[in-house]
Structure 1
Amino acid sequence: MSQPAKSSRATAASDAPETAAGSRAAAQRLKMRRELAAAAMELFATKGYEATTVDEIAAAAGVARRTFFRHFRSKEEAIFPDHDDTLMRAEAVLNAAPAHEHPLDTVCRGIKEVMKMYAASPAVSVARYRLTREVPTLREREIASVARYERLFTRYLLSHFDERDHHDGNDDPLLAEVAASAVVTAHNHVLRRWLRAGGKGDVESQLDHAFAIVRKTFGTGIGAGRLAGPRVPSPAATAETAATGDVVVAVARADAPLEEVMRTIERALKEHHA
């Protein structure tokens, strides 16, 4: 009986170095990508984008040309070194979302990973922004990156609702897709405003304000009544129901927080069907 336990311990011990090695390799990969990106940005600023070659970028970073192409497919890709990792972090936020959280709130938390990426290096982000305004190729690359985030968030929202279930009275599939676009648009609006200001200002509070507008516009409609939450009365929201056939009326104060309003609706529906 003791042999399996010994085997399990041995397996865990052998897995640990592999996990640590994988983490180190990922960190080294990101470090090299950032070094190449920094070299590219400096050359673009001094020589100009069109006049700069991949060989010059590699040489400035102290690596061979083949090393550059192990990390980037082109020189325009080199100024966006963190997008792949940021996309994975955003997806991890979605995958780890608590069951009670409204999916729109989860998406807002996920896209904050993108803002963190820009805010981590304001000077680099501002220089990159100015460069993308001047070079159409880089602008197209940036648009393609934004589209990847939007697809991720749209898929997440639609996964909570049946996108094929289009019929009168069910607007969830439509709202899910529009809401995903709205979250990305709100994020990009705040980001551009922050970059134009030279990377100064409390960008996090500005982003929270923008997301509050998105939630107010779409949150009360998308997935209404689907949230699970504790059935604890709140002074901000109370439920009264009047049922006639399949009609249920829930009453809440106009200044109640969105989360309380959603819980009020759920309580009303549960009490009606009890």
Structure 2
Amino acid sequence: MTLWSRTRTAVYGEITRTAMELFLERGFEATTIDDIAAAAGISRRSFFRYFGTKEDVVLGDLVARGELIRDAFEARPESEDPWTALLGALHSVKDAADETDAEMLKVFKMVHQTPSLRARSIEKHLQWQALLTPEVRRRLGADPADPFDVRAEALVATVLTCLDVAGEAWARGDGAVPLEGLFDAAAAAVRG
């Protein structure tokens, strides 16, 4: 990693930490980009060099997490059916997450209580669907050029909906039940 890349990563991390502190203290909607820039000691213009929107501060790493899920999914044993492999991939990425459950819970609550974050989260999950669908198609033996074979898209969308439903319940219940258990319960209900 070059000095420029390390510096950029450090600044990105500092802006993110500063913004998250403000969001959790003041609320997402009450915190402006100018507030974040001032607290981070940067200009508004510099903020936009790192983030396209305020929502991206909270959800920006979801695209990278989607790539981790795809990589974990592709590494799952060929003997696993696509559903089982997707669930295993999601569990393995959760286990590798840097944030604590308490930190994740705060973010989940903020996302589920803020319409613009909720919409952006759904948009990011659509990007995950695009990342995961080709491997599901391959595992199903589906023709990638067949526009009418919707099985892969349906499987991925269903797994991501289970994740969303579990996350919302986890936030609503203040983390009293483990997120993994809620996700597994949602997935089992669909398969049952």
TM-score (norm. length: structure 1): 0.56
Letter in 1 for 2:122: I
Measure the CA separation in 2 of the matches of 1:192 and 1:117.
Answer: 21
Give the alignment partner of residue 128 of structure 1, picking from 107, 110, 128. 107
Query: How far did 1:86 drift?
Result: 0.6
Compared with structure 1, are the counterparts of its residues 113 and 54 closer, same or farther at alpha carbon in structure 2 (3 Å cutoff)? farther
Question: Is 1:208 matched up with 2:188?
Answer: no
Measure the CA separation in 1 of the matches of 2:44 and 2:95.
Answer: 31
- 1:5-28 superposed Cα distances (whole Å, 9 cap, x missing partner): xxxxxxxxxxxxxxxx36x94797
Alignment of structure 1 residues 69-218 onto 2, 5 Å? 69-112=48-91, 115-116=94-95, 120-160=99-139, 161-163=141-143, 164=146, 173-214=149-190, 216-217=191-192
Where structure 1 has 5 or more consecutive residues not aligned to the other structure, the ranges are 1-20, 167-172, 218-274
Measure the CA separation in 1 of the matches of 2:147 and 2:177.
Answer: 43
Measure the CA separation in 1 of the matches of 2:112 and 2:163.
Answer: 18
Tell me if the contact between 2:69 and 2:90 (Cα under 8 Å) persists in the aligned partners.
yes
Tell me if the contact between 1:126 and 1:195 (Cα under 8 Å) persists in the aligned partners.
yes
Q: What SS class does the counterpart of residue 148 from structure 1 fall into?
A: helix
Query: How far did 1:72 drift?
Result: 0.8
Tell me if the contact between 2:72 and 2:93 (Cα under 8 Å) persists in the aligned partners.
no
RMSD over aligned CA atoms reads: 3.3
Query: How far did 1:102 drift?
Result: 2.0
Query: How far did 1:187 drift?
Result: 1.6
Tell me if the contact between 1:40 and 1:57 (Cα under 8 Å) persists in the aligned partners.
yes
Percent identity, aligned pairs only? 28
Measure the CA separation in 1 of the matches of 2:84 and 2:179.
Answer: 18
Letter in 2 for 1:104: W
Measure the CA separation in 2 of the matches of 1:107 and 1:58.
Answer: 39
Measure the CA separation in 2 of the matches of 1:67 and 1:174.
Answer: 43
Measure the CA separation in 2 of the matches of 1:180 and 1:35.
Answer: 34
Larger Rg computed on CA atoms: 1
Where structure 2 has 5 or more consecutive residues not aligned to the other structure, the ranges are none
Q: Which has the higher helix share?
A: 2
Looking at both structures, which has the greater relative contact order when contacts are Cα pairs under 8 Å and sequence separation is at least 6?
2
- 1:96-123 superposed Cα distances (whole Å, 9 cap, x missing partner): 2333222222211223356457783333
